[in-house]
Amino acid sequence: MASVQGFSRSWLVTNKREMTTSVSPAITVRDLNFQWPNGKTVLDRCSLDVPRGEFWMLLGTNGCGKSTLLRLLAGLLPLADREAAQVAGRVGFVFQNPDHQLVMPTVGADVAFGLVEQGLSYREVRDRVEDALTLVNLAHLIERPIYALSGGQKQRVAIAGAIAQHCDVLLLDEPTALLDPESQIDLVERVRDIVRDRGMTALWVTHRLDELNYCNGAFLLESGQTIDRGDPERLKLRFLQGQT
Ligand SMILES: Nc1ncnc2c1ncn2[C@@H]1O[C@H](COP(=O)(O)OP(=O)(O)OP(=O)(O)O)[C@@H](O)[C@H]1O
Ligand SMILES: [Mg+2]
């Protein structure tokens, strides 16, 4: 099961379970229950599968448990039943607010964060950082201070950090919430392309329905349960109907 590694920032986690067959889902949630210590039930027999190599989105009203589910999958919250939420491979987490995630003074240093402690050589660290920044189209800003980036660029640095760690599964919790519409669409297109080109898997939480145009499929969460899954267009309509 996923566990937080001591040597790197909290959103980088490693699943020590062996990868199974190529057709098994990358993310498996089965009858997952979660209560806060105050007794509030957030997830109630929640189940979902994200197929390996696909880009799926998680939709639901405020407070229905989306962030809690992502945190449980990343090992950032403790699981009572470890079998109930499983991720195959290494996990990268992207938060809503990149200022809560980026910890180093410059772009290159932030993407390299944690790689040296993994025992990688200087050359390997440099190659991974350059590769990851090229993928998010920020290689030209490798020396730029973090404070001099736009919100969209910061989110791309956060994603490059996960890619440099060679993560297999990306969990993104409303990564476009603070972005303007142009940066929003740029980010969602970029993640779609990275998932496709790198054979990664991603689960992306959103409230912004236009983002569903870019995913392979979606889940609709309500009161801690997955009440629908599949075709993004159908789920958009169902979500809108639930809002009226
Ligand atoms: N640390 C906490 N202690 C107790 N309750 C919490 C805690 N964090 C969140 N909650 C509650 O758990 C429920 C689910 O929260 P969660 O953040 O998972 O919802 P969400 O679907 O991500 O909502 P949003 O769309 O607003 O981000 C909410 O009722 C929230 O108030
Ligand atoms: Mg949330």
Residue 148 has what DSSP assignment? G
Q: Are 129 and 142 in contact (CB under 8 A)?
A: yes
Q: Is 66 in the pocket of ligand 1 (CB under 6 A)?
A: yes
What percent of the chain lies above the pLDDT cut of 90?
81
pLDDT tens profile 138-183:
999 999 999 999 999 999 999 999 999 999 999 999 999 988 888 8
Q: Average of pLDDT values for 24-52?
A: 96
Is the pLDDT at 244 greater than 90, yes or no?
A: no
Q: Is 62 in the pocket of ligand 1 (CB under 6 A)?
A: yes
Is the pLDDT at 237 greater than 50, yes or no?
A: yes
Q: Average of pLDDT values for 63-77?
A: 95
Is the pLDDT at 3 greater than 60, yes or no?
A: no
In the chain, at which residue ranges do the beta strands (DSSP E only) sit? Answer: 2-4, 12-15, 27-35, 41-50, 55-60, 85-87, 90-94, 169-173, 201-206, 217-222, 225-230
Q: 68 C-alpha vs ligand 1 centroid, how far in Å?
A: 7
Q: 40 C-alpha vs ligand 1 centroid, how far in Å?
A: 10
Residue 146 has what DSSP assignment? G
Which atom of ligand 1 is closest in space to residue 65's alpha carbon? 18
pLDDT at 23: 66
Per DSSP, helices labelled H in 44-180 are 66-74, 107-112, 122-135, 151-164
Radius of gyration, CA atoms only, the chain? 17
Q: 80 C-alpha vs ligand 1 centroid, how far in Å?
A: 18
Give the closest residue (by CA) to ligand 1 atom 6: 36
pLDDT tens profile 199-231:
999 999 999 999 999 999 999 999 999 999 999
Residue-averaged pLDDT of the chain: 89
Q: Is 206 in the pocket of ligand 1 (CB under 6 A)?
A: no
Mutating to test ligand 1, I would choose from 32, 59, 66 the residue with most ligand atoms within 8 A of its C-beta, which is 66
pLDDT at 103: 93
pLDDT at 24: 87
CA torsion 125-102-173-87 (nearest 10°) is: 30
Q: Average of pLDDT values for 5-16?
A: 40
Q: How confident is the model at residue 5 (pLDDT cuts 50, 70, 90)?
A: very low
Q: Average of pLDDT values for 124-135?
A: 95
Is the pLDDT at 59 greater than 90, yes or no?
A: yes
pLDDT at 107: 97
Amino acid type, 77: L
Q: Is 16 in the pocket of ligand 1 (CB under 6 A)?
A: no
pLDDT at 114: 81
How many Å apart are CA 44 and CA 225, to the nearest integer?
6
Residue 243 neighbours by CB distance under 10 Å: 6
Structure tokens at 100: 């809560």
Is the pLDDT at 17 greater than 50, yes or no?
A: no
